[in-house]
Amino acid sequence: MTQPNRKPDERIICALDVPTTAQAAALVDQIQDAVGFYKIGLQLFATGGMDLARDLKAEGRKVFLDWKLHDIGATVEKAAASLADAGCDLLTVHARPQVMAAAARGVAGSNLKVLGVTVLTSLTADDLAADDHSLSPAELVELRVRQALEAGIDGVVSSPHEAARVKEIATQAGRDDFLIVTPGVRPSGAALDDQARAATPETALLAGATHLVIGRPITAAADPRAAALAVAESIALI
């Protein structure tokens, strides 16, 4: 993989949602210096994802481990502590109070920041109702954001549709440093794919997002580097 030689906009996180680390590394080589922050998700979890993470960190890039940890507190705490030793930047856990608090203990003293996953951007109100939730997506996100703040973690993952409310709640709690990482970001004209609650990069940032997770609009483009640069240009003045 080539090393970055320009300063990319680190609000853009490129999702490397591909089957193999070789494909992921090839994408990073194509994107070059247009992106400096990469998400490694569950698809790469069992196929060398941590090796890829270490390679990216060695090249000066930032790494988001989107692994959505969810287990008993002791297990989550130990897993988070192990991942903190790898020097990565962001880690997701499910936004359950005990899980978030355990992850916060596990990463204490490290630079790894913990994000609670509130409500997946592919879910609608009907999906939540089918799962026996009485709350709407927005109401459930609000509940989980408050629980994340109480647990002392660094931020949440939520759709752009809830970003403004998340920011408002965090600000009221005195957490201006609270991270709001938004998947479901699609540049104007891009296909929504499986995202039910999506928005453009500009809309997401103006609503309060601190980071944008963008996958297929960059990685499936004919020229991934040009696609990433186009997103960076669209948000340059925000």
Q: Which of 167, 207, 168 is nearest to 185 (CA)?
A: 207
Q: Any residues with CB less than 8 A from the CB of 95 and at least 6 apart, and which?
A: 116, 117, 118, 144, 147, 148, 156
The one-letter amino acid code at 18 reads: V
Give 162's DSSP letter: G
Distance CA 143, CA 97 (A): 11
Q: What is the β-pairing status of strands 155-157 and 179-182? A: parallel
Angle between helices 21-31 and 224-234 (to 10 degrees): 60
Q: Any residues with CB less than 8 A from the CB of 88 and at least 6 apart, and which?
A: 53, 57, 63, 64, 65, 112
Strand, helix or coil for residue 2: coil
Among the options 7, 39, 57, 68, which is catalytic? Answer: 68
Alpha-carbon distances, residue 85 vs 20, 56, 107, 112, 209 (angstroms): 24, 15, 9, 9, 27
Distance CA 150, CA 166 (A): 14
**62 noted as active-site residue:** no
Mind telling me the catalytic residues?
68
